[in-house]
Amino acid sequence: MSEPLSISAVSKPSSIAPPAAMVHGDPCTLVIFGAAGDLAQRKLFPAIYHLAKKGLLADDFRIVGVGIESLDDAAFRARMRAALDRSDDVRDVDGATWADVEARLFWLTGNLTEPTVYAALRARLESLETNARESTRNRLFYLAVPPQIFPSIVLHLGESGAATRVDDPGARPWRRLIVEKPFGHDLASAEALSRGVLAHFAEHQIYRIDHYVGKETVQNVLVLRSANAIFETLWSRANVSHVEVTAAETVGLEGRAGYYEKAGVVRDMFQNHLLQCVALAAMEPPREPTANAVRDEKVKVLRAVRPLVDGGRASAIHAQYAHGTIGEKEVAGYREEPGVDPRSVTPTYAALRLYVDNHRWQGVPFYVRSGKRMKKRVSEVALHFRAPQRLMYEPVPTERLAPNVLVLRIQPDDGVALGFTVKVPGAALALTPGIEVQEVRMNFDYADAFGAESHPAYETLLLDCMIGDATLFTRTDEVEAAWRIVDPLLEHWAARADDAIPTYAAGTWGPPEADDFIAHDGHAWRTP
């Protein structure tokens, strides 16, 4: 392929509705359970800092961190300042912005499983809200803690009165709950967790957060389709041969063996992130631009997915990384990682063949793959279009024509690329075998078009929580529909745990079985 043709933004941005980035967050108190932990320090506080720097936090906005650490307000503020200094998302901490954020930070020490903490929390919130108008005494609770203590926190919040179930979405002051993934370990645990949360919060109060959906290019899937007639009219089985969804990582466990040994790649990546990408790519245009209309269409896609296990056979393969080389560095195999069982059969790679049995996508395979310790870090959605039925110049063999591919790059180089075939200059334009054709690519890069400044996913998602826009968050029925897709596959593999799991060398694109898996249908994996 020749060098890609670049595409730049050619007009000023236009909007159908005011973008979230232009809307100030509602006045509220953000309570972060586990605020001294890794998630808060690496992701939440850099996002809050950026919102403050852009002037998007309400004047009456404050943060109460809650955790078992013995801190006071000053120590908590010092810890968060140190976190910003270490953050890859913050280049240089602006003094004025930090002073603004620092004055909003407060700390409460306590064991999150003890009811007494929540009585103290309620008293602290009421004290901080003393000068706020009744209608602005909003509370946003963030569960930045291990999922096993979600039920305890929700129960004590409800019983203490610090948070209450509000059935009217328009009621003020509002109470909202942000829940991090994983939402359950399987369908049964997800349903149990939902019952516990819904006992104290209405569905509209619950924001199940998936940072993957907060990425600009994931959101752009809908805009690219709906705002460009040339794509929307082609976006179906009539024109698309197959779809690839790839999320490849070069990293290994990074000290998370305890979590990963129980989760594996399907729970870690497919049940949430990648099925979200499939749903966004395959959904019908919503009837109206509302959160529930968008989520209704995503649920329809997930419910239309054909079972992955049929007659004892799975439409999927899995594997585990072995010793290999990433870049020029030798890395250990999965079973040699600290904390991993030397006989572990936990998969670190999987490839699934999904069929969405509806009118638009009937018969079109969606190949979804993800793995750790792979050759390159990349996430993308690629639509492969069908080959032309008939060639104008018959001497050019059909097999020499690369099918058109539309690639939506999610990370690391956010953008869109379109591959198509052209005539090579100099060859005779005649019905002779001498004509030459070649694939070229038009490439749009977000950074080139709109500047290099990134918008971290958590920045978008936190602001959406503050303004009450649930479009990018997962509803109960959507969570359960996703588990219904992957649960039978996990059970199928668990029943065969005594079988040897295939392996692939770290630093490659996966096991040979993955190539055979897609070649069975006459396709090959795209090399990003």
d(CA 496, CA 262): 16
d(CA 100, CA 93): 12
d(CA 337, CA 356): 37
CA distances from 314 to 61, 264, 318, 485, 491 (A): 50, 17, 10, 12, 11
Which of 141, 65, 67 is closest to 111 using CA atoms? 67
∠ CA 280-4-215, rounded to 5°? 30
d(CA 18, CA 20): 7
**List of E strands, 42-193:** 61-67, 105-109, 139-143, 175-180
Within 10 angstroms of residue 237's Cβ, the number of other Cβ atoms is: 15
Output DSSP code: residue 270: I
Lookup: tokens for 383:
């639509």
Lookup: tokens for 142:
């963030």
Residues marked active site are found at 273
Query: Is-contact 66 29, C-beta < 8 A?
Result: no
Strand partners, 437: 423
Rg (CA), the chain: 25
Which of 34, 479, 472, 466 is closest to 210 using CA atoms? 472
d(CA 105, CA 251): 34
**List of E strands, 75-226:** 105-109, 139-143, 175-180, 206-209
* 3-state secondary structure at position 404: coil
Strand partners, 244: 367, 382
∠ CA 403-227-377, rounded to 5°? 55
Lookup: tokens for 185:
């370990």
Q: What is the sign of the dihedral through the CA atoms of 88, 90, 95 and 97?
A: negative
Output DSSP code: residue 8: -
d(CA 488, CA 497): 14
Which of 107, 199, 106 is closest to 150 using CA atoms? 199
Residue 366 has φ and ψ, to the nearest 5°, of -105, 110
